[in-house]
Amino acid sequence: MSPIRLALVGLGKIARDQHLPAIAATEGIELVAIASRNAALDGLPHFTTLEALLASDVAFDAVALCTPPQGRREQAALALSAGKHVLLEKPPGATVSEIGPLIETAREHGLTLFATWHSRFAPAVEPARALLAKRHINTVTITWKEDVRVWHPGQDWIFAPGGLGVFDPAINALSILTRILPHPVFVTGAELAFPANRAAPIAATVEMADSNNIPIRADLDFLQTGPQSWDIRVETDAGAVVLSGGGARLTQDGVVLSDAPEAEYAGIYKHFTGLIEAGQSDVDLSPLALVADAFLLGRRVTVDAFDY
């Protein structure tokens, strides 16, 4: 079978750090073009917009959209209407409601739409899911704290409306949470800390529960210095189950059950090629819905202005 010819839209930090090496390492997919306003890649056709790429004579089958979420719906709709399969970086869009029409368009055209949650492909996530399916869960605590100046240097879009602020990284935790817990999760309350000069929160606490009323708390911070924290601790009838390192490591009462090298984006592209071959889509909006609900229920507090 011929490889899937992929065009990458948006060539920023996440595309260079994660997408390019994962594409190169994945059988059955080949990068054939770049569409980016600010960057190009030696040896590949380059266009400043997706519209220009679609109007060219470059043959391709699919696009990976790595642009900020605020404009992703328009790009996805354009690509699907042109008969291209679409991979969406996380979050899949700036709102929950804008994704529904994309799902319908993909279905009508017989195309694949894949809303990626890269943290679900971390090596310890599926072992954690299997372990927790056999345990009685008492409480869940999420600690997701990182330094925005390190991971998103100068990226003002992340604090613009639709950029999600601290929820841009924290949605990774929510994507893991909604994968490993056996029952649906919903938000019960939140406090969101907005810098005086920004339109998205820089820190937050979110209270949640599942359908069995298990209490879940998330402590989120975008100004963490020193060691970064990407941890989910689940207290169970058999002790503490801890996913650390963003889902890379799983322990139970301090005993290591899983600890493997990170390969999240390789997993994403393997899954994407499999979806295309099977004629299927994969669009789970539950992590984005939790973020939207945190904004709906959250009490807003104003904190010091933030500048890079």
Query: What is the Cα Rg of the chain in Å?
Result: 19
For residues 123 and 261, what is the distance between their CA atoms, to the nearest angstrom? 7
Please state the separation of Cα 233 from the chain's center in Å.
20
**Of 71, 30, 23, 29, which is closest to residue 50 (Cα–Cα)?**
71
3-state secondary structure the chain: CCCEEEEEECCCHHHHHHHHHHHHHCCCEEEEEEECCCCCCCCCCEECCHHHHHHCCCCCCEEEECCCHHHHHHHHHHHHHCCCEEEECCCCCCCCCCHHHHHHHHHHHCCCEEECCHHHHCCCHHHHHHHHCCCCEEEEEEEEECEHHHHCCCCHHHHCCCCCCCHHHHHHHHHHHHHHCCCCEEEEEEEEEEECCCCCCCEEEEEEEECCCCEEEEEEECECCCCCEEEEEEEECCEEEEEECCCCEEEECCEEEEECCCCHHHHHHHHHHHHHHHCCCECCCHHHHHHHHHHHHEEEEEECCCCC
Residue type, 231: D
**90 included as an active-site residue:** yes
Catalytic residue among 90, 134, 145, 270: 90
**Of 297, 147, 133, which is closest to residue 220 (Cα–Cα)?**
147
Which residues are known catalytic residues?
90
